[in-house]
Amino acid sequence: MPYELLTEDKVVPYLASLPELGRIFGSFDDIEVREIGDGNLNFVYFVTDRKDRARSAVVKQAVPYVRVVGESWPLTVERTRLEVMALRQERAICPQFVPEIYHWGEEMCVVVMQNLYQHKVVRGEIIKGVKFPRLVDHLTSFLARTLFHTSDFYLDQAEKKRQVGAYLNPELCKITEDLVFTDPFEENKTNSPNPRLGAEELERFRADPALKIAAAEMKHKFMTEAEALIHGDFHLGSYMANQEETYIIDPEFAYFGPMAFDVGKTIGNFLLAYLSQAYHRRQAGEDPRAFRGWLLQCAEDVWTGFAAKFEALWAEHMERFDRVYWSFPGGAEAAARWRAGFLDRVFHDALGFAGCVMVRRTLGLAKVADIAAIADLEARAALDRQALAIGRELLVQRDRLESIEDAVVLVLALAPNA
């Protein structure tokens, strides 16, 4: 079937033509189709049997441009093929955290998958003040397992290089290189800062050599360190959860990059949520401290949980990289030192990436609703300033912060939990 843009009325006939969808939908005579309308890149439809909500699917189709901008920003539909590849590989490693794919239509660039109708997008729920007690445990298990099992610490040497080649994702990497690492650090037409942040204030923020060097260093790492298959867009909008389960969706930005990018993106997003809840909880008439404390704890636990789980996997499979280094008296201790040193480097890089994410989501294209959806621009500007200040310090001081606790102290100094 050659590429054709699906519209709501075409979704049901398309699904009905696929034999493999028969096991999901008994019949197609009473189906509701709803386009969710907030995809940055793609069209996404929820398709549900009105008589039985369990009979449902998500249909995602790539269009040959960036949806959020329009046809003036062309983008090949290759991203869906990479997303399907990543979903399959992640699901093979972590079946409990990744939705099942029912159908992949390469020519139509359509992927049909499990509808997580009992789960909600985490960002929207956190904005409303909902806690997810198991979220960080699940996120860190997913990160540790997927990153470890696609790294040189686990994969066969030739297989790793084959996978690096198979996952080259230059177009979506370029989006990240521009939108996360470049545009927010200069005056650029893609940026859309809160108008209450003055031009002089922004100029001062950008005319900071230490900030520029740090951003350039992080961008270089993103472009050159093919450590493991990273999700590439690992933020609160890419998790769907309820009180028991968590699913990770949307890996179209996946490629072999620095592990610290996914970890840092998560930390940065929890910090933005922490800042925003000083506003949202008060608007709801609540004392914000407990919920904000939970969000800050989440940011901290992302690092400690990831590091502990990754280290345990690595220690268990230490001989896979190369046994020669550890088979001597004292080898076990040397191996432990290497693991600690490696993870220390990932930690500092994760802080740098978290800083980039905070600056980007404050000034650049495609913000996060936590802060950007606050209609009171003065109230929002106070949070924007905190995000920029914390982002800057995380970037510039990343190598001086010895532990995640030190990073939390820094955050609390710039944005007290009051």
Residue 40 in the binding site for ligand SR1 (CB under 6 A): yes
Taking residues 186 to 225 in sequence order and writing x for each that binds ligand SR1 by CB under 6 A, - otherwise, the string is ----------------------------------------
Which residue type, as a one-letter code, is found at position 243?
Q
Q: How near is the Cβ of 237 to Mg ion at its closest, in Å?
A: 6
From the CB of 359, what's the least distance to ligand SR1, in Å?
Answer: 13
C-alpha 210/C-alpha 224 separation (Å) is 21
Alpha carbons 415 and 196: distance in angstroms, whole number = 19
Q: Which of Mg ion, ligand SR1, none interacts with 269 (beta carbon under 5 to 8 A by kind)? A: none
Per CB under 6 A, the segment of 7-15, 160-168, 171-179, 319-327 that binds ligand SR1 is: 171-179
> Which helix or strand (DSSP H or E) is residue 372 part of?
helix 369-372
User: Who contacts 190 (Cβ-Cβ below 8 Å, separation ≥6)?
Assistant: 178, 179, 183, 364, 365
Residue 233 interacting with ligand SR1 (CB under 6 A): yes
Least distance in angstroms from the C-beta of 39 to ligand SR1: 9
70 backbone dihedrals φ, ψ, rounded to 5°: 115, -175
Q: Which two three-digit tokens encode residue 64?
A: 């040959």
The residue range among 152-160, 172-180, 292-300, 374-382 that interacts with ligand SR1, by the rule CB under 6 A, is 172-180
Tokens linked to 278: 């000083």
**What does the per-residue mask of binding to ligand SR1 show for 307-346, with x meaning CB under 6 A?**
----------------------------------------
Identify which of residues 77 and 335 has a Cβ nearer to Mg ion in the complex: 77
CA 189-191-192 angle, 5° bins: 115
Angle (CA) 226 228 229, round 5°? 105
Between CA 367 and CA 231 the distance in angstroms is: 19
Residues in Cβ contact with 328 at an 8 Å cutoff, skipping those fewer than 6 apart: none
The three-state secondary structure class of 297 is helix
Residue with tokens 């990770």: 248
CB of 80 to ligand SR1, least distance (A): 14
The neighbour count for residue 36, using CB atoms within 10 Å, is: 12
Q: Which of 15, 47, 179, 387 binds ligand SR1 (CB under 6 A)?
A: 179
Return the residues of window 282-301 that contact ligand SR1 according to CB under 6 A. Answer: none
Is 82 a binding residue for ligand SR1 by CB under 6 A? The answer is: no
Cα(139)–Cα(325) distance, integer angstroms:
32
Give the DSSP H or E segment for 255: strand 255-257
Cβ closest to ligand SR1, residue 66 vs residue 354? 66
Interface pick for ligand SR1 out of 24, 66, 143, 298 (rule CB under 6 A) = 66
- Kindly identify the residues of this chain, within the stretch 225-264, that bind Mg ion according to CB under 5 A: 233, 250
Task: State the nearest-atom distance from the C-beta of 19 to Mg ion, in Å.
Answer: 30
> C-beta of 180: minimal distance to ligand SR1 in Å?
7
Interacting residues toward Mg ion by CB under 5 A: 233, 250
Interacting residues toward ligand SR1 by CB under 6 A: 40-41, 66, 68, 175-176, 179, 233, 366
